[in-house]
Structure 1
Amino acid sequence: MPRGRALIPRSACRTVVGKVRVGVVGLGNQGLAHVEALRSVEEAELAAVADVDLARARRVAEEYGVPAAYGSAWELCERGDVDAVVVATPDHLHLEPVMAALECGKHVLVEKPMATRLDEAERMAAEARRRELILAVNFENRFNPPFVHVKELLRRGELGSPLYMYARLSDTLYVPRKMLSWASKTNVAFFLMSHTADLARWYFEQPVREVYAVSLTKVLSDLGTPDAYAAILKFEEGFALLESGWILPVSSPSIFDFKLELVCTEGAVHVDAERETIAVAARSYGYPHLAKLHRVHSLSAGFLREADRHFLRCVMGLAEPVARAEDGVENVRIIEAVIRSSNEGRPIKL
């Protein structure tokens, strides 16, 4: 199986002129967010939605004014008037809709993690290369302003070269217990650490050479999924320490805790993505999360909208993907190594 590292020449990809007709597959929390975001992207025309729950797909279509609703990805992808597909199914169910879209000649934006199996990620990337189609991965924090600003500081040379990074991204118990009906089918390393592993690769711009990780399983033992992971990613020059769990108290003021520190040869940055400069005390105390997606005078704004718009501009031939299929493949390779290292109690070389 190809390792999926060769880049697709931009000139080889079929581009779309005018508005991009988009279909969204998977209408859980993230899929609905994409539908909401795409409604306010002027380059987009929402053509269809699909979900295994056809009644849900029809309700969403009616609510958002989408002309067609389907009960499967194949039905949506077989439409000749769909140019691109956003795949937002659960972590472990990306392969079938992505392959359906690619085989039907559609460009694809797939949610992270690209897959929960490396062979599946490699298969998707190979199919996109073979058909000369765009397959982008929605590592949405590459559009999240504070993390983008860190990248820009690195690009301008104001921080020097990265030396080490610490990142903590954890969720409350609400997520695996209530929000995700499929928590037992994924893993907190795939669900959360995939975000921070991607940021580490993006900042260091080096391949990960070795991974060492530990995990803990107690609170969620009934789901058969670990409570938390800590992992060290070793680069050619430097390292990243990543920590992710999903057992924080439900009473926490935010559904997630997200901190990042990057120390470089000529400076350092500290990012707190949990607190977005606003706290609300009403029936409870909390930090509303507005940066990803929120309404501004009836229009959607936020970094998810920008991620979707960027993908559509790539489909139109106006931009290069910020996160390619190859980034998704390497991310899955790293997270698989995290899980394997914690299971085997030893470092894993990549």
Structure 2
Amino acid sequence: DIDAAKAQARAEELNIAKWYPSIQEMLAHEECDLVDVVTADHLHFEPVMECLEAGKHVISEKPLSLYIDEAEQMVAKAEEKGVHLAIDYNRRFAPGYVQARKWFDAGAIGQTYYLDMKLSQGGPASTWKGEYYLLYELETHAIDLLRWFGGEIVAVCAQMAKPRQHEAREGEDACYTSMAISFRYETEVVATLLASWDSDFIHPIEHLEICGSDGEIVVNNVLSRATLMKRDNQVVEEYRPSIFRAEQLAFDGTFALRMAALVDDLLTDRPPAPTGRDGLQALRITEAIVESWKEKREITVKLD
């Protein structure tokens, strides 16, 4: 922390042996292999670049950046230095999505036809940080999941609304708190996303349905369950996390699962998915969604 007193107090509170007032000092005194950058969204670029330049593996909080040019520089720097840049899309490691991916990779639903997702939860006005904050703060997770299961997204079209604009703080733009977004993929696949901060945490906040030629996979509420339904004989297979695995029943546990997977990837020299390039592509899609709403038309997404 740049506030040395605050850094020291926090370190003592959490029983952390060492603390530093700057990235530079930490890199000069620590033989670290991996750095986790959890600064505010608009402050990822400098610490990520400094750590990559020093030859350290890095995991960044999402979004990778608020600006595409910064994200492109981060990805390029990691490749230049021969180190790994990962991003904390922790929902990929939630038990329901892990099981869904196993079914998907096993070909349980055949050829993918469409994806339908909802990610909607409470978003008090006190947390708003700009008109499109919902997209960058929360829905970047949904975008990542839609890419993970559906492949590359090539075009988007968006509708947005501000039903709670009266709650905006004086002098600040109200946030678009409800969005309906359609996606078109490289293949003959389409997807929809209902994104909102206008519900609450009591209502089921998250739902993903993947429909294929042989059946469907449905994930409800991240942690609660995943269901596989077959077309021909309607055999249903349902997965529920064990009640004896506390880390599987609390959303915070997905961060530990994500970090464990990252460390295992690094120790076995596997690219630590999701990568910085995944973060870059999610940001390109996010920017295209904003452009679509502003221009009231479908927008093509840049691909590498």
TM-score by length of 2: 0.82
Amino acid at match of 2:164: V
Amino acid at match of 1:321: P
TM-score by length of 1: 0.72
Which residue in 2 is equivalent to 1:244? 195
Q: Structure 1 residue 129: deviation in Å?
A: 0.6
Instruction: Identify unmatched segments of 5+ residues in structure 1.
Output: 1-50, 279-288, 294-301
Which residue in 2 is equivalent to 1:198? 144
Contact 2:120/2:197 (8 A) holds in 1: yes
Amino acid at match of 1:332: L
Amino acid at match of 2:79: R
Aligned pair partner of 1:172 in 99, 114, 122: 122
- 2:159 aligns to what SS in structure 1? strand
Query: What is the aligned length?
Result: 275
> Following the alignment from structure 1 to structure 2, what is the Cα–Cα distance between the partners of residues 218 and 292?
28
Which residue in 2 is equivalent to 1:272? 220
Determine whether 1:212 maps to 2:157: yes
Deviations 1:275-312 (A, max 9, x none): 7489xxxxxxxxxx94333xxxxxxxx32112111222
Q: Which moved more, 1:117-126 or 1:76-85?
A: 76-85
Contact 2:97/2:222 (8 A) holds in 1: no
Aligned pair partner of 1:234 in 174, 177, 184: 184
> Following the alignment from structure 1 to structure 2, what is the Cα–Cα distance between the partners of residues 341 and 127?
30
> Following the alignment from structure 2 to structure 1, what is the Cα–Cα distance between the partners of residues 210 and 198?
25
Aligned pair partner of 1:321 in 254, 267, 272: 272
> Following the alignment from structure 2 to structure 1, what is the Cα–Cα distance between the partners of residues 158 and 131?
20
RMSD: 2.5
Q: Structure 1 residue 78: deviation in Å?
A: 3.4
Contact 2:111/2:212 (8 A) holds in 1: yes
Q: Structure 1 residue 116: deviation in Å?
A: 1.4
Q: Structure 1 residue 154: deviation in Å?
A: 1.1
Contact 2:223/2:250 (8 A) holds in 1: no
> Following the alignment from structure 2 to structure 1, what is the Cα–Cα distance between the partners of residues 15 and 123?
34
Q: Percent identity?
A: 30
Determine whether 1:340 maps to 2:261: no
Instruction: Identify unmatched segments of 5+ residues in structure 2.
Output: 226-239, 241-247
Structure 1's 217 and 53: CA in aligned 2 closer, same or farther, altered over 3 A? farther
> Following the alignment from structure 1 to structure 2, what is the Cα–Cα distance between the partners of residues 53 and 262?
47
Amino acid at match of 1:305: A
> Following the alignment from structure 1 to structure 2, what is the Cα–Cα distance between the partners of residues 290 and 185?
33
Contact 1:216/1:229 (8 A) holds in 2: yes
Q: Which moved more, 1:98-107 or 1:310-319?
A: 310-319
Q: Structure 1 residue 163: deviation in Å?
A: 1.2
Deviations 1:233-256 (A, max 9, x none): 10022111112122335xx427x8
Structure 1's 226 and 146: CA in aligned 2 closer, same or farther, altered over 3 A? same
Aligned pair partner of 2:92 in 142, 160, 167: 142
Structure 1's 334 and 304: CA in aligned 2 closer, same or farther, altered over 3 A? same
Structure 1's 74 and 187: CA in aligned 2 closer, same or farther, altered over 3 A? farther
- 2:138 aligns to what SS in structure 1? helix
> Following the alignment from structure 2 to structure 1, what is the Cα–Cα distance between the partners of residues 194 and 67?
21
Residues 79-158 of structure 1 correspond to what in structure 2 (within 5 A)? 79-158=29-108
Q: Structure 1 residue 341: deviation in Å?
A: 0.6
> Following the alignment from structure 2 to structure 1, what is the Cα–Cα distance between the partners of residues 5 and 153?
44
Deviations 1:148-171 (A, max 9, x none): 111111110111122111111123
> Following the alignment from structure 1 to structure 2, what is the Cα–Cα distance between the partners of residues 183 and 290?
30
Which residue in 2 is equivalent to 1:187? 133
Structure 1's 234 and 54: CA in aligned 2 closer, same or farther, altered over 3 A? farther
> Following the alignment from structure 1 to structure 2, what is the Cα–Cα distance between the partners of residues 81 and 264?
48
> Following the alignment from structure 1 to structure 2, what is the Cα–Cα distance between the partners of residues 151 and 274?
13
Structure 1's 248 and 74: CA in aligned 2 closer, same or farther, altered over 3 A? farther
Determine whether 1:331 maps to 2:290: no
Q: Structure 1 residue 137: deviation in Å?
A: 1.0
> Following the alignment from structure 1 to structure 2, what is the Cα–Cα distance between the partners of residues 185 and 99?
28
